[in-house]
Structure 1
C-alpha cells in the first residue's frame, strides 16, 4: 500500500503527537512562563503580582551565594563529564572484549540507573557514614576513615562517586551500541597487519564512535548542570553551603524561607542561558572534530 509524502508525514506526526504534547505542556510552556515570571515579584502563591522588569536580574549580580553555587556547579560539571565518560567508555570496551557473561555485566552496570537517585543518595549516606568506618576499624582500611559527608573536600568526592555510579551504566550502553557499529572487517584487517588491541582502538574504534562521544558528552553536560537529587539526599548542600549546586540554590530560593518565586525563576533563566551557551560551544567543537576525523 503506497502513501503520498503528505499522508506519510501526517501519520508520522500522529505517532509523535503524544510525546510532542507532553514536551509542549510540561517542558516548553513552563520554560517560557518561567521567563515571564522572572520579570515579576510573584511569590509562587499569591494571585496578584507586579511586573518589575529586570530588578530580579540586578539582584542576582550581587547574590554571592548564587555565584558560589555556579562556581561549585562548574567544578562538578568538569569532573563529572570527564570521569563518567572515560569510565563508561572503558567499561564498554571491556565488556565487548569478553566472550561470556556480556548480558550479566551490562545489566549489573545499568541497574543503578534504574534506581531513583534520591533513594540511591540515601543508600550511599549509609555507606559513607557506617560501612566505611566499619571497614576502617575492622578490616584495616584506614584510608576510608574520613568524614565523607562533613568535610567539604571529601563530600565533593562522595558526590562524584554517587553521581558516576548512577549514570555510568546509561552512558556505557550508548558506547556499546557505537562500538558494535564499527565494521568488524576493519578491526580484523588491522589485526592481520600487526596492530595490537590498543592500536586498533586508537586508530579505528575511537575515531568511528565520535558521534557517541558527542551524545554522551552532551547528556552528561546537561545532567551535571541540573544535578539536584544526589546532592540533596547526600549532603543537602553542606557542610554549610560548600556543596550547594545551582539547582539546589534555586530550589531553596523558590520553596524555602522567604519564598521569592520570581527571583528563583530569574536564576533559572540565568542558568538556562549559561547551559545553552556552553552546549552550543560543545556541540560545535565536537561536530568539527567529527568532520576532521
Structure 2
C-alpha cells in the first residue's frame, strides 16, 4: 500500500517538476533577486555592490519628484480605467445580451480590438490622432476633434485612456456576457411583471447575480492598469516632457535608459508590487464578501 502511494506521488511529481523548474528559474529567482537588490546600490553591470538598507525606498518617496509624479499619474489612470472600462463593458454586455439575431456580430466587433497587440494599437491611434481626426474636424465642423491629442499635456491623458478603453473593453465585455447567460430569465420576467423598470432589474437582480464576474473584471483591470506600459510608450513615450510617464516607464528609465541604477529601480518595482498586492487583496476580499452576501 505504501509503495503504491509512493509511486503515485512520484509520478505526480514527475509531471509537475518540469513546469515548476521553469517557473522557479524564470519567475521566482528574478522576483527574489529583485527584492534582494532593492536594498543595494547595484548598477546592473558591475560585480560589486553595497547594501544601503531602506535608503532607496526613502529616496523614492522623499527626493524623487519624477517617481512621485509617475505614481500620481498612474493612480489617476488606474481609477479612470477601473471605473470606465467596467461600466462601458457591462453596458455593452447588457445591450448585446438583449439582442438575439445580432448578438454574435456585435460580440465579435467589440472583441476584435483586443486581438491586436497593444503597442500596434498605440501606433495605429497615433496616426488617427495626428492625421485622421484633424481632417475629420475640418470636413465635418466638429472642431473639438482638432486637438493636440499627443502633444498637449492636458489632453494626452485622455488619448491614452481612449486607446486603452478601445483595446480592453471587449475582453471585459465577454466576461460579463458569459456571466449574464447564467442569470435566470424567469427572475427578470417576474420582476418586470411586478413593475420593476429595466434599471431596477439591472441593479437589484442582474448585478447581485454576476458579482463573481465583477470580482474577476475588477481584478484584471486593476492589475493591467497598474502595469500599463505599451500604450503610453507607443503614444506619447511618457511625454510631453514627463507629463504622462507611468511607474513602469520610470522604473525602466531608472534601470536601463540613462541612470543604470538597478538597485534603486528594483526598490521602485517592490513598491509597485506591494501596492498592487495590497489593493487587489482588499478588492478581492471585499468582492468575495459581497458574493457570499448575494
TM-score normalised by structure 2 residue count: 0.90
Match of 1:209 in 2: 210
Q: Does 1:284 align with 2:281?
A: no
Q: Distance in 2 between matches of 1:171 and 1:12?
A: 35
Match of 1:118 in 2: 119
Q: Distance in 2 between matches of 1:152 and 1:8?
A: 62
Q: Distance in 1 between matches of 2:146 and 2:115?
A: 30
Q: Does 1:166 align with 2:167?
A: yes
- Structure 1 runs not aligned, ≥5 long: none
Report which stretch shifted further, 11-20 or 149-158.
11-20
Report which stretch shifted further, 67-76 or 193-202.
193-202
1:22, CA displacement in angstroms? 4.8
Number of aligned residue pairs: 290
- Structure 2 runs not aligned, ≥5 long: none
Report which stretch shifted further, 276-285 or 157-166.
276-285
Q: Distance in 1 between matches of 2:15 and 2:128?
A: 45
Q: Distance in 2 between matches of 1:284 and 1:21?
A: 31
1:191, CA displacement in angstroms? 3.2
Q: Distance in 2 between matches of 1:125 and 1:34?
A: 34
SS of 2:52's equivalent in the other structure is coil
1:10, CA displacement in angstroms? 8.0
1:45, CA displacement in angstroms? 2.4
- Note closer, same or farther for the CA distance 1:224–1:9 as it changes in structure 2 (3 Å cut): farther
1:56, CA displacement in angstroms? 1.8
Report which stretch shifted further, 20-29 or 104-113.
20-29
1:102-147 deviation per Cα after TM superposition (whole angstroms, max 9, x unaligned): 2221121111111111111011000011111111112212111111
Q: Distance in 2 between matches of 1:198 and 1:63?
A: 47
1:38-73 deviation per Cα after TM superposition (whole angstroms, max 9, x unaligned): 122222222333333323223213111101110111
1:68-120 deviation per Cα after TM superposition (whole angstroms, max 9, x unaligned): 11011111110110000000001111111111122221121111111111111
Report which stretch shifted further, 102-111 or 128-137.
102-111
SS of 2:40's equivalent in the other structure is coil
Match of 2:132 in 1: 131
- Note closer, same or farther for the CA distance 1:289–1:148 as it changes in structure 2 (3 Å cut): same
SS of 1:258's equivalent in the other structure is coil
- Note closer, same or farther for the CA distance 1:206–1:59 as it changes in structure 2 (3 Å cut): same
- Note closer, same or farther for the CA distance 1:143–1:18 as it changes in structure 2 (3 Å cut): farther
Q: Distance in 1 between matches of 2:109 and 2:291?
A: 31
Report which stretch shifted further, 238-247 or 107-116.
107-116
Match of 1:39 in 2: 39
1:195, CA displacement in angstroms? 3.2
Report which stretch shifted further, 44-53 or 59-68.
44-53
Q: Distance in 2 between matches of 1:274 and 1:152?
A: 26
Match of 1:59 in 2: 59
Q: Distance in 2 between matches of 1:82 and 1:5?
A: 51
Q: Distance in 2 between matches of 1:204 and 1:8?
A: 47
Match of 1:175 in 2: 176
Match of 1:264 in 2: 265
Q: Distance in 2 between matches of 1:10 and 1:120?
A: 47
1:288, CA displacement in angstroms? 2.7
Q: Distance in 1 between matches of 2:188 and 2:255?
A: 54
What's the Cα RMSD here?
Answer: 2.3
- Note closer, same or farther for the CA distance 1:235–1:13 as it changes in structure 2 (3 Å cut): farther
Q: Does 1:231 align with 2:232?
A: yes
Q: Distance in 2 between matches of 1:266 and 1:229?
A: 22
